[in-house]
Structure 1
Amino acid sequence: MIIEPKIRGFICTTAHPAGCRENVREQIAYVRSQPKTEGGKKALVIGSSTGYGLATRIALAYSCGAATLGVQFEKPAAGKRTASAGWYNTAAFEAFAAADGLYAKTVNGDAYSQQCKDEVIAQIKADLGQVDVVIYSLAAPRRTLKDGTTVSSVLKTTGSDYTNKTIDLKERTLSEITIPQASEEEIAHTVAVMGGEDWEDWMLALQGAGVLAEGAVTAAYSYIGPELTHPMYKDGSIGRAKDHLFATAAKLAQEIPGLRSYLSVNKALVTQSSAAIPIVPLYISLLYKVMKEKGLHEGCIEQMYRLVHDRLYAEPTPVDGEGRIRLDDWEMKDEVQAEIARIWEGLNDDNLEQYADIDGYWQDFYQMFGFDLPGVDYQADVDPDVKIPSIAE
C-alpha cells in the first residue's frame, strides 16, 4: 500500500516503515561518526521506541557497544492500519543491530505493570545476567495502578489559570490560549503517571532479582525551560511530576548502594509529548530558529550522544548545583533566551514566519512518523506488516 501522513490533533495516525528505518539509520550514522565511549555494556531502556528513549538506545549501542534490551508499548500493523512509528523504529533498530553484531531485544508491554517487569527480568537473566545502565524514558498519558485504578495525567497549571500566546501550526497563525488550573486530584494523578514511583519500582525490582550490576548507573529525563513556559511546565502539573522524579533520583541513590542515579534535564524538542503541550510548540519553533542561527541546534540523537559520551561516563559526571545533568545548557544560554524573549513580546501574525521555524517544526514532526525523510520513495508500494525479530507473534 502507499502510506501517507494523516494528522489528527498533535499526532499522526499513520507511520511509514521505510521512513522510520531511514530515520533510525541516520541516527546510527551520526553516532558512528562520533568518538566511541567507554561506558555501559548491558543496557535496559524503558521507553525505547521513539524520541529520547530510542536515541539513547542507539547511543549506548553504537557508542559504547552495549547490548540493549528495550521496553515499549507499541502496536503492530493490522489490516489497512499501519503499525505505530515506535514499532517500525524498533524493527529497524533490531535489524541494524543484528547486522552489526549487537545484541538487541525488545519487550512489548505496559511498563507500569508487574507482568512487564517480570518478563524483562526473566529476559535479563536468560541473556545478559545483569544490566549496568538503566534508562527510564516513559511518557504516557495514563497508568493503571496496582489496585486496578487507572489514573490520567493532565497538562494544566497550578496556582492560577495562565493565558499566553499559542500557535495553530496548520494555519500558521497566533492566538491566545488560557490553561486552566489543575485540581489537587489531577496533580496527584499526574505525579502518579509521570513521577518517579514507577522508576523506583523498576530499580528495586531489578535489584531484588539480582539483575542490577554493582555500580550501575540510571537516568530519567526531565525539562525545565524558560520563564515563559514555567506556568505550563516547570510550575504546572507536569512540573510537579518532574519534581517527584528528581526526588526519586536522590532516593534511589540512597536505597541501592553504589548506584549512580541522575535526572537529565534535556532540551526542548519536537516529540509526541511536547507537541501536546499548549504554548510549547510556539516556543520550540522560535527556539529552533534562534539556535540554528547561532549554530547551537541539536536533535534527540545529538543530545543523547552527548549524555552518554560527555555526561554519564565522564569522570566525574558533570552536574549542576542540585545534582542534575544539564543537557539544556545550550538552550538556556543567556543570548538564546534573551533573543527569544525579545521576539516573543513583538510576535504577531505578520512577522511569525520571519521569526518562527515552522517548517523545521513540521519537518521534525513528520519525521517522527517516518515521513519527509530524504531518499525515501513515498509513492512506492510498501508492506505495512513489519515484524520485530525479537517479539513473537
Structure 2
Amino acid sequence: MSLRPIEPKQRGFLIVNSHPEGAAQTVRRTWEAIPARTDGRRPVALVLGHSAGYGLAALLAGLRRHGIRGVGVAYETPDTGRRTASAGWYRTAAAARLAAEAGHDIRFVNADAFSAEAKAEVADLLERHYGPVDHLVYSLAAPRRTDPATGETHHSVIKPLGAAYEAPALDFSGAVPAVSRHRIEAGTEDETRATVGVMGGDDWALWVRELAARRLLAQGFTTVALTYVGSEVTAPVYRHGTIGAAKAHLEQTARDLDASPLLKEKDGRAFTVVAGAAVTQASSAIPSIALYTAFLRTVLGERGFRSTAEQACALWDQLEGRTPLVLDEEGRIRLDGWELDARVQDRVRELWADPERGLEASRPGADWFMGQVKGLYGWGVGDVAYGRPVETDVPWPTRP
C-alpha cells in the first residue's frame, strides 16, 4: 500500500509522474465515447503497445466495439515509493477493470516487446488460452531497441535529412505558451540506420514470424502497423527526416509481409495504417508537432478534430469487414482524410507562415494541447479530487 498525496512534476512537455485516478478517468472517458457493439464473432487480437496513444485506442475500440479476446503488451514501470508508476501502468489497470466489468477476455503482459523472451511468453499465453490470432496491431513507440539477433542497441533520433532545419515549436516554460525556435542538425547515415532499427519494420516482421512458427496465424489473419504522413509543414522534421526513413521501412515491410508465403497460405493481409494527428506521449516529443497540432485543432474545432478512439473505431470496422477498406495508391489504410483536407491545410499553412501571429489566433488550441498532454498522465481531469491522498501502488492486472 502507498497512500499519499501527489502533485504533478512538469518540465515543459515532460511530466515525470502520473495520477492513478486521473489516468483511469481518461481511459473511462475514452471507453464511454466508443459506441458499444459486440454482436457477431469475437476475434482474437494481439495489440502491441496497448498502453498509450493509438495502441490504447485500438485496444479499447476493439474490446467495446468488437469484443476482441486476446493479449495486450506494453512495457511500463511500477510505483517505486519515490516515483509513481508510469501513466501506461495505470491506464492498463483501468482498461482491465473496464474489460472485466463488460465480460471481455483480455490479458496483459508487461515486457519489452522487442525481446525474444517477450515474444515467446506471449505466444505461450496465446497457445494456452486463445489459439490462432485474427488481428495483430503493431503500435510500439520507444526511443531504443536491442536487436535480438545481433545484440546491438539502436537509439532513434528526430532529425531532418540532408540539411539542418530550424523548426518553430511551442514553448510551455513560461506563464503562457509561446513560440520558440529549434535548430535541428541533419541526421547522419548511422543515426538514420539506428532510427530505422528502432522504428522500422524489423520487429513487426519478427512478431509475425514468431506467430507463424507457433501455428498461431488464423485463416484470414490481418496485421497492421500504425504510421503517419502528416502535413507538408512538418515534413522536414518528420516525413522527410529520420523518422520518415523509418516509416518508409515500415511501409515496405507491410508490402513484404503481404506478399510472403507465411501470409499467403493463410489468405492473410498486412497493411500500414496512416492515422491522423493526435496528442500522444510520442508525438509531443517531436519538435514543431505540438504547434502544428494546436493550429490544426484551432482550424478544425472540437467536432472536426478526430480523436484516436474515433479513428480506431473506423480501423476496426474496416478490418472486420463492416465497412470497406479505405486504401491509397500505395495500399495503405488511410484514416487521415479529415486532417489533410485541402481547405484545412490551406488555413494551417496561413497560421504556420507567421507562427507568432498564428499562435495569437490559436491560444485555445495551444491550451487544449497542453491540457491533453497533462491528461495523458492523469492530470487536469476535471472530476478528480487531486488534493487528497491516493493509492499509487496499483497492481498490474492478472487473471486466474
Q: How much does 1:90 deviate?
A: 0.5
Going from structure 1 to structure 2, the CA distance change for 1:187 and 1:312 (only over 3 Å counts) comes to: farther
CA deviation map 1:301-356 (0-9, x unaligned) = 111112112465345422111111111110000111000111111332x6523224
Partner SS, residue 227 of structure 1: coil
Going from structure 1 to structure 2, the CA distance change for 1:231 and 1:379 (only over 3 Å counts) comes to: same
2:10 matched to 1:7? yes
In the alignment, structure 2 segments of 5+ residues that lack a partner are none
Q: How much does 1:20 deviate?
A: 1.1
Give the aligned residue type for 1:10: F
1:346 and 1:64 mapped to 2: Cα distance? Answer: 45
Give the aligned residue type for 1:6: K
Aligned positions of 1:57-206 closer than 5 A: 57-146=59-148, 147-171=150-174, 172-206=177-211
The percent identity for this pair of structures is 38
TM value normalised by structure 1 = 0.95
The answer to whether the 8 Å contact 1:40/1:132 transfers is no
Going from structure 1 to structure 2, the CA distance change for 1:364 and 1:37 (only over 3 Å counts) comes to: farther
Going from structure 1 to structure 2, the CA distance change for 1:364 and 1:268 (only over 3 Å counts) comes to: same
Partner SS, residue 229 of structure 1: coil
CA deviation map 1:138-166 (0-9, x unaligned) = 00100111222211000001111112322
Partner SS, residue 292 of structure 1: helix
2:50 matched to 1:43? no
Q: Please, which moves more after superposition, 350-359 or 279-288?
A: 350-359
1:24 and 1:107 mapped to 2: Cα distance? Answer: 18
Corresponding residue number in structure 2 for 1:229: 234
Give the aligned residue type for 1:113: S
CA deviation map 1:25-68 (0-9, x unaligned) = 1111111x355575761110011111110110011111001113
Corresponding residue number in structure 2 for 1:373: 381
2:295 matched to 1:289? no
Partner SS, residue 217 of structure 1: strand
The answer to whether the 8 Å contact 1:253/1:261 transfers is yes
Q: How many residues align?
A: 389
Q: How much does 1:374 deviate?
A: 2.3
Partner SS, residue 330 of structure 1: helix
Partner SS, residue 264 of structure 1: strand
Q: How much does 1:219 deviate?
A: 0.7
Q: How much does 1:4 deviate?
A: 1.6
Going from structure 1 to structure 2, the CA distance change for 1:311 and 1:215 (only over 3 Å counts) comes to: closer
TM value normalised by structure 2 = 0.93
CA deviation map 1:206-238 (0-9, x unaligned) = 011011211111110111111111111111000
Partner SS, residue 60 of structure 1: helix
The answer to whether the 8 Å contact 2:156/2:195 transfers is yes
1:292 and 1:194 mapped to 2: Cα distance? Answer: 31
In the alignment, structure 1 segments of 5+ residues that lack a partner are none
2:311 and 2:335 mapped to 1: Cα distance? Answer: 7
Give the aligned residue type for 1:216: F
Give the aligned residue type for 2:293: I
CA RMSD of aligned residues (A): 1.7
Give the aligned residue type for 2:60: I
Partner SS, residue 297 of structure 2: helix
Partner SS, residue 70 of structure 1: strand
